[in-house]
Amino acid sequence: MIKKILKWTGIVFLLLTIVLVVTVSLRQNLRYDAPYPDLHASADSAVVARGKEIVWGAGHCADCHSVMNVDSMLNLGIEPALSGARKFALPFGDIYSMNITPDKETGIGGFTDKEIARSLRYGVHPDGTAVFDFMAFHDVADEDLTAVISYLRSRPAVRNEVPEHRLNAIGKTIKAFMVKPVGPSGPVPERMQRDTSAAYGRYLAFNVAECNGCHTMRDMTGGFIGEPLAGGRPMESEDGISPALTPPNLTTDSSSRLFGWSQETFLKRFRQGKIIPYSHMPWNSYSRMSENDLKALYNFLKSLPPSKTGALKKK
C-alpha cells in the first residue's frame, strides 16, 4: 500500500513538473500591448543638449549601457559609445544592457521614436515583449523623454552585437510569470519647471535619478515594501570580495546619513564623485548634475518625513 502511494505521488509530482516546465517555456516571449507616446526626436541643439545632460548626469545611462572608462573619456572631451553589453550577474541569471546607439542592426536605429518612447515609458519592447524593469523613466515628462531620444539619435551608430540574456531556471520562471510591463504611476506631465523646488527634486529623485531604486526596501521580487528612501537592502559588491554596502536612509530621521547636512555639505559631497571604488551608486554621473538640480534634490530630501531605515510601509 505504501509503495503504491509513493508510486502515484512520484507520478503526480513528475506530471506537475512537466506541466510547469512546458508552461514556463511557452511563456518566455509573451507579447503585450501598450500605447505609443506621440513623441518625435528633434534636431534642435537645445533639445539635444538637454538630452545629453540627462544621459550623462541624473539619468546615469552610461553606468549600464557602456563598458568603457566613461569618466576618463568624458574628462578628455570624448563621449563614449552607449553600445551596451555590460553584464549584470544576478541570482536569476546574466542580464546584458542594450546597445542604444543608432545602429540599425544591433542598436535602436531600426526603431521608431514612438517605439523607443514606449519601451521607456511602458516597458514594452518594439516586438511586444516586456522589458526587465531596471529603469525609472516611466514618469519622465514628455519634454525630457523627447530630449533623451533626440540625443541618442544624434550620436554615431556603433555596431555591437549584445549577447542574449542567460536566465537560469529561476530566472525563466520569473520571466514567465512576473516580468510584465510597468507603466506610469499617473498622468505624465508635458514638461517640468526646472528650479530648486522640492517638487522638482522629487521628480528627479523618483523619475530620473532613480534614488528610490536602491534607497527604499524591496521584497525579493523587486517590489517596494519600505517607506520611500528610508534605506534599502544590503548589496553585494560586484567583485564578490569587497564588503557589502547598504543604501542608507535619506529621510530626515536622526538615523539618516544626511542628518544635519547643510546644503553646502550636500553639494560638496556630490561634486566629489565616487570615493568608495566598489560603491554601486553612480556618483560620477550625479557629480555632473547642475547645481540647481542638486539643490532641488536636497530640498526634496529635507522635506521627507522622518522614517527609520528599512521601515515597512504603513498599510
Give the span between the Cα atoms of 281 and 250, in whole angstroms. 14
Q: Are the C-beta atoms of 201 and 217 separated by less than 8 Å?
A: no
Kindly give, in sequence order, each residue whose CB lies less than 8 Å from that of residue 130, ignoring residues fewer than 6 positions away: 30, 32, 123, 124, 179, 180, 181
Identify the pLDDT of residue 315: 46
Give the span between the Cα atoms of 192 and 264, in whole angstroms. 25
Identify the pLDDT of residue 229: 94
Give the gyration radius of the chain's Cα atoms.
Answer: 22
Counted residue by residue, the chain has a size of: 315
Taking the alpha carbons of 279, 273, 120, 109 in that order, is the dihedral positive or negative? negative
Identify the pLDDT of residue 222: 64
Q: Are the C-beta atoms of 258 and 201 separated by less than 8 Å?
A: no
pLDDT tens digits, the chain, 315 residues: what are they?
Answer: 777 776 777 787 888 888 888 888 888 999 999 999 999 999 999 999 999 999 999 999 999 999 998 988 998 889 999 999 999 888 889 999 999 999 999 999 999 999 999 999 999 999 999 998 888 799 999 999 999 999 999 999 999 999 999 999 999 998 988 888 989 999 999 999 999 999 999 999 999 999 998 999 887 656 778 899 999 988 887 667 888 889 999 999 999 999 999 999 999 999 999 998 888 899 999 999 999 999 999 999 999 999 987 655 654
Concatenate the DSSP letters of all residues of 80-145 into one string. Answer: -------EEEETTEEEE----SS-TTTSSTTS-HHHHHHHHHH-B-TTSPBPP----GGG--HHHH
Closest C-alpha among 159, 40, 149 to residue 107: 159
pTM confidence score: 0.90
Give the span between the Cα atoms of 308 and 250, in whole angstroms. 10
Closest C-alpha among 211, 189, 187 to residue 142: 189
Closest C-alpha among 293, 143, 309, 299 to residue 233: 309
Identify the pLDDT of residue 144: 98
| Torsion of the alpha carbons at 137, 80, 271 and 311, rounded to the nearest 10 | 30
Q: How many CB atoms lie within 10 A of CB 169?
A: 11
Identify the pLDDT of residue 220: 60
Kindly give, in sequence order, each residue whose CB lies less than 8 Å from that of residue 308, ignoring residues fewer than 6 positions away: 230, 231, 249, 253, 255
